[in-house]
Amino acid sequence: MSNRALILAIAGIALLILAGCSSAAASNATPANSVAPAPISQLPSLPPATTTADATSIPSTPVPTPKEEGPTLYKIADVVKDSKALMGKSIIVEGKIVSECGAGCWFTLNDGSGTIYVDLAPSNLSIPQKRGAKARVFGNVTSEKGETYLIGTKVEF
């Protein structure tokens, strides 16, 4: 068989397949393995609709939005100074990366008020070499042998 005849045969088969699919869809035939939808009369009834309040019953004072929960931004000097009060709490610090582990599992951060060690290894994190870059660090305050540091949980550049 020539290439042209082979191409025509494949095109013909494709047309037959497509025609068969569209005719089944056009006839609204339900495939044997699908479940037909339940008639409307068998659907559960909904409770009656309630009317909305009129404009006079809406309070005129705005409802306060709830305070967003989450870590607070601190200066590094305040973290070191208040380390006992912040112990175990999630906080955010921002600053410049001063030094960094070659593997990126720890670094020191300076914000002008102080420098703090950030350990990423307990969170199974590491960062690329970013010495000199500004970073925002989310972490938990901890202390060991009298030294306050952060267990970093997220780093943004």
Average pLDDT of the segment spanning 81-98: 94
The closest alpha carbon to 139, from 89, 101, 70, belongs to: 89
Residue 138's SS3 state is strand
Nearest-Å Rg of the Cα atoms of the chain is: 33
The pairing of beta strand 134-144 with beta strand 115-119: unpaired
Instruction: Evaluate whether residue 11 is within a structural domain.
Output: no
Residue 109 in domain: yes
Whether residue 89 lies inside any domain: the answer is yes
State how beta strands 134-144 and 147-156 pair.
antiparallel
Q: Could you list the residue range(s) of the whole structural domain that residue 77 is in? A: 72-156
pLDDT tens profile 117-154 = 999 999 999 999 999 999 999 999 999 998 999 999 99
Domains contained in the chain, number: 1
Residue 133 placed within a domain: yes
Does residue 67 fall inside a structural domain?
A: no
Average pLDDT over residues 100-120: 96
DSSP symbol at 124: T
CATH number of the domain within which 92 lies: 2.40.50.200
Mean pLDDT (the chain) is 79
Alpha helices (runs of H) in 27-75, residue ranges in sequence order: none
| Longest CA–CA separation in the chain, Å | 87
The structure tokens 């100074």 sit at: 81
Residue 12 has pLDDT above 90, yes or no: no
Output 125-131 pairs: Cβ under 8 A, ≥24 positions apart.
Answer: 125/152, 125/153, 125/154, 125/155, 127/100, 127/155, 128/104, 129/100, 129/102, 129/104, 130/97, 130/100, 130/157, 131/97, 131/98, 131/99, 131/100, 131/107
Q: Is 33 among the domain residues?
A: no
Residue 34 lies in a domain: no
Q: Do residues 128 and 107 touch, judged by C-beta distance below 8 A?
A: no
State the average pLDDT over residues 98-102.
95
**Residue 30 domain-assigned (yes or no):** no
Q: Are 134 and 69 in contact (CB under 8 A)?
A: no
